[in-house]
Amino acid sequence: MTDKTWLSRWDERYSNKGFAYGTEPNNYLKNQLKKLNPGTILFPAEGEGRNAVLLLNSDGKCLHLISALKGKTKHYSWQKATM
């Protein structure tokens, strides 16, 4: 699979109006973050950013990597609305 095909797949998945995985963060991650001291965390392949928004809204710092343009666009719009 070429990079273009791979990115097109994710752009297609995230092009719907709703969120592909919902807006609630991953339950496992949510529970693990409660055990950690505030700091900076890396979220690779963050998709639409549901986990990053959780961390950013709880005074943490996050470096999140989103490859799909549709996912980035949706994430940043959502992030602005929730902060």
Closest CA to 22 of 74, 60, 59: 74
Asked, for residue 53, whether it belongs to a domain, the answer is: yes
Asked, for residue 25, whether it belongs to a domain, the answer is: no
Dump pLDDT digits (tens) for 54-64. Answer: 887 777 677 67
Asked, for residue 21, whether it belongs to a domain, the answer is: no
Asked, for residue 62, whether it belongs to a domain, the answer is: yes
CA distances from 65 to 3, 31, 36, 42 (A): 16, 21, 21, 8
Asked, for residue 24, whether it belongs to a domain, the answer is: no
pTM of the model: 0.67
Domain that holds residue 78: 3-16+38-82
- The residues of the chain scoring below 70 in pLDDT are 1-4, 60, 63, 65-66, 83
Asked, for residue 27, whether it belongs to a domain, the answer is: no
How many helices (DSSP H) and strands (DSSP E) are in the chain? 4, 2
How many separate domains does the chain show?
Answer: 1
Asked, for residue 70, whether it belongs to a domain, the answer is: yes
Contact present, 53 and 24 (Cβ < 8 Å) = no
